[in-house]
Amino acid sequence: MADNSASRITLEVFRSEKGRLSRFDVPVPAPASRVLDALLYVREHLDPSLGFRYSCRAGMCGSCALVVNGKEALACQSAIGALGTTTVRLSPLRALPVLHDLMCDMTPFFDTLKRADAAMRPKEPNRKTLRVMPPGEPHRALIEGQNGCLTCGACFSACEWSATRPGYLGPAAMNRVLMLSLDERDARGKSRLATVANESGALRCHGLGNCSQVCPVDIPLREGMQKLKGLLAMEDIS
């Protein structure tokens, strides 16, 4: 679609109650119009029963993650002009139970974070704030690449194992474990590696890299998994 100014698209949306796609003719004011804009248009003008999530509209909360033309993305960050097609097909994230249309039950995804204990356990629990790591500090460089996860679930959806292997932790949880195991402010440190040193964790990852392809904040998840495997190969895990 070379010029999308004041054009129209066909929005195909998976509908959970109907069990099929609904098609909507949606105007696109500009190439930079987002998929979220199209969804909001549908809900306001065509079908108020259409279910989808959004919050910040700025690519920071991760609420609007879904599958756009077969690839996981944030609806608020997906420019319709960049999709290169006049038919945009939307479906809910994979590997998660569908609540309504494009809304999934995120509980299984958040459970992976709980099972991986993907929360900071500060070395100084009585301190009110974490020690700031200024730019350029070597410790910061160790973990910076893994920082910034929105917990949107896009990588979990894209991973081949999330839907086919019950109990698989998934890229987001393991990325968090990697980051925390390298963070010198965390009390658990490398002992965290034991939570992913199994067939539900890093040992099952084949490094396909779907996770890296879909991460909306470009966290190098596949490289992170390689780093994690390197730590598992070298560290004493008991």
Partner 1 sequence: MASQLLDLKLWRWQRYTALISLPLVLAHVVLQYWVFGIDSANFDAVSARVKGGIILGLDVLLLAAVSGHAFLGLRSMLQDYARSSRTAAWITRATLFAFAATLVYGLAALVVFL
Which residues of the shown chain bind partner 1 in the complex (CB under 8 A)? 197-199, 203-204, 206, 232-233, 237-238
Q: Which neighbouring-strand residues pair with 3?
A: none
Candidates 227, 97, 215; CA nearest to 153 is 215
Tell me the C-alpha distance between 188 and 193, whole Å. 9
Cβ 70 to partner 1 shortest distance, Å: 23
Which amino acid type is present at position 91?
Answer: S
Q: Give the contacts of 137 (CB within 8 A, at least 6 positions apart).
A: none
Structure tokens at 31: 């190439």
Cβ 160 to partner 1 shortest distance, Å: 9
Q: Which neighbouring-strand residues pair with 104?
A: 98
Cβ 203 to partner 1 shortest distance, Å: 5
Rg of the chain in Å (alpha carbons):
20
Nearer to partner 1, 4 or 200 (CB): 200
Cβ 165 to partner 1 shortest distance, Å: 8
Cβ 199 to partner 1 shortest distance, Å: 5
Q: Could you write out the DSSP letters of every residue in 198-211?
A: STTTGGG-----HH
Tell me the C-alpha distance between 51 and 101, whole Å. 5
Nearer to partner 1, 144 or 199 (CB): 199
Nearer to partner 1, 185 or 192 (CB): 192
Cβ 159 to partner 1 shortest distance, Å: 13
Structure tokens at 150: 């929105």
Q: How far is CA 31 from CA 3, 7, 77, 102, 165, in A?
A: 7, 9, 12, 23, 39
